[in-house]
Amino acid sequence: MHPNHLRALAAALATLASAVTLSAVQPAITMTPFGTLRDGRAAQLYTLANSHGAKVAITNYGGIVTRILVPDRDGNLADIALGYDTLAAYEKDGATTGTYFGALIGRYGNRIARGQFTLDGKTFKLAANNTPGGIPCALHGGKVGFDKVLWDAAPLVEKDAAGLRLRHLSKDGEEGYPGNLDVTVTYWLTDKNELRIEYLATTDKATPVNLTNHSYFNLRGEGSGTILDHVLTLNASRYTPVDKGLIPTGQLAPVAGTPFDFTKPHAIGGRIETQNEQLLFGGGYDHNWLIDRGSAKSRALVKAAEVYEPVTGRVLEVLTEEPAVQFYCGNFLDGKNAGKSKIAYKKRTGLCLETQHSPDSPNQPAFPSTILRPGERYETATVYRFSAR
Ligand code: GLA
């Protein structure tokens, strides 16, 4: 064949190939069965893909993010979210260990002292499902929190994002909380390699609401060792010290001069063994930092955290409308939970950055209020942005 013809043919083939690739890489969502719950109801697994090949898998059981596939600095994808490969393993979790891998957390994310609060003169009792330091408290919504309910799900596809809208009606009195709470959470995987989570709730009686997501990240890939060499920056000059039951003392303490100062990047393991009462209580980092929001408006996304993993170059940025973030470095992981790759998740092999209001806010009048009243809308968003350098 004449070289000119060959070149023309090659060009035509290249155009065809790019057209095929283009049409194959639009944001998309697929649904596959994820198994059956003990009560016989079927759960689904939704896989969101963006046009760069990043993927996020979410089940409507607990709104759990089961997989997050994002590239390293050489473009290699790895699953950086801790989790299980079966629905049964998620359903069983919590009976003993309570990892809350990837789950939506509500009605109240984090702890409420003694499992009770008083609202408009009435005292509400919650299940005390957690006992750090031997002291009972309510944790993450109770015995059957939002991590253990089957959400209604609707897939969404936009030009530059694939999404999943989840809905749950939390009944008046459920887990001891007042009011019918209508909750909608929408996950988006955008073409900017962001996992965006939008929370919306309305109620017919005043109730505390504090929703979050409990994903554990290991930016080298789940099952590849500890996160102690991940480098963390927190845009926070204050945190809420806790008592030995992990309940805030009420103090908003400066981080300056303490191992809690991540205003400049620090390896997570760098100061974790320091003799420090707070690190002792938490068994490591398991605390709530108040994000320096400056003059940002309440519904503005402000950068709360950045995590850098030196081997793969992966970066996670966390942006949120929330006032605080719980940084928990997986201190309670004990190797009893074998994950997706059948590798046991040992202590500190994943880290959480749970955006939220501070723990025990319903009992802490000085903290920003978490009370939602009839006629109001609870609306907030958080973005987990992935990149590499
Ligand atoms: C939260 C808490 C931790 C722990 C985990 C779940 O992040 O802050 O103390 O209970 O959930 O294991």
- C-alpha 355/C-alpha 384 separation (Å) is 10
CA distance 350 to 114: 28
| Active site annotation includes 287 | no
State the pLDDT at residue 15.
47
Query: Measured in whole angstroms, how far is the alpha carbon of residue 38 from the centre of its chain?
Result: 25
pLDDT tens-place values along the chain, 389 residues long: 555 565 555 555 554 544 444 445 899 999 999 999 999 999 999 999 999 999 999 999 999 999 999 999 999 999 999 999 999 999 999 766 699 999 999 999 999 999 999 999 999 999 999 999 999 999 999 999 999 999 999 999 999 999 999 999 999 999 999 999 999 999 999 999 999 999 999 999 999 999 999 999 999 999 999 999 999 999 999 999 999 999 999 999 999 999 999 999 999 999 999 999 999 999 999 999 999 999 999 999 999 999 999 999 999 999 999 999 999 999 999 998 889 989 999 999 999 999 999 999 999 999 999 999 999 999 999 999 999 99
Per-residue pLDDT at 22:
43
Judge if the beta carbon of residue 99 lies within 6 A of ligand 1: yes
Measured in degrees and rounded to the nearest 5, phi and psi for residue 146 equal: -65, -15
281 lines ligand 1 (CB under 6 A): no
| pLDDT given for residue 132 in this prediction | 95
Q: Annotated catalytic residue: which of 91, 175, 354, 357?
A: 354
Record the pTM: 0.93
What's the CA gap between 252 and 239, in Å, rounded?
Answer: 6
| Cβ proximity of 140 and 105 under 8 Å | yes
Atom of ligand 1 nearest to the CA of 97: 12
CA–centroid distance, residue 327 to ligand 1 (Å): 9
| Extents of the domains making up the chain | 28-388
Instruction: Name the fold adopted by 28-388.
Output: Beta-galactosidase; Chain A, domain 5 (2.70.98)
Out of 328, 352, 354, mutate this one to test ligand 1's pocket (max ligand atoms within 8 Å of CB): namely 328
pLDDT at 21: 41
Alpha-carbon gap, residue 235 to 227, rounded angstroms: 19
Q: Is 177 in the pocket of ligand 1 (CB under 6 A)?
A: no
Phi, psi at 15, each rounded to 5°: -60, -45
CB-ligand 1 contact for 100 (6 Å cutoff)? yes
107 preceded by a cis bond (ω within 30 of 0):
yes
What is the Cα–Cα distance from 22 to 7, expressed in whole angstroms? 22
Q: Which structure tokens are listed for 249?
A: 């003392």
Is 140 one of the annotated active-site residues of the chain?
Answer: no
Residue 147 near ligand 1, beta carbon < 6 Å: no
* From 214, 230, 287, 357, active-site residue: 214
Residues whose CB falls within 8 Å of the CB of residue 276, separated by 6 or more in sequence, listed in order: 258, 259
Asked if residue 352 has its Cβ within 6 Å of ligand 1, the reply is: yes
Q: Tell me, in angstroms, the distance from the centre of ligand 1 to residue 211's CA.
A: 14
Task: Quote the pLDDT of residue 72.
Answer: 98
The atom number, within ligand 1, closest to the CA of 139 reads: 10
| Cβ atoms of 166 and 44 closer than 8 Å | no
Nearest CA to ligand 1 atom 6: 99
Q: From the CA of 328, how far away is ligand 1's center (Å)? A: 7
d(CA 198, CA 189): 12
The answer to whether the CB of 332 is under 6 A from ligand 1 is yes
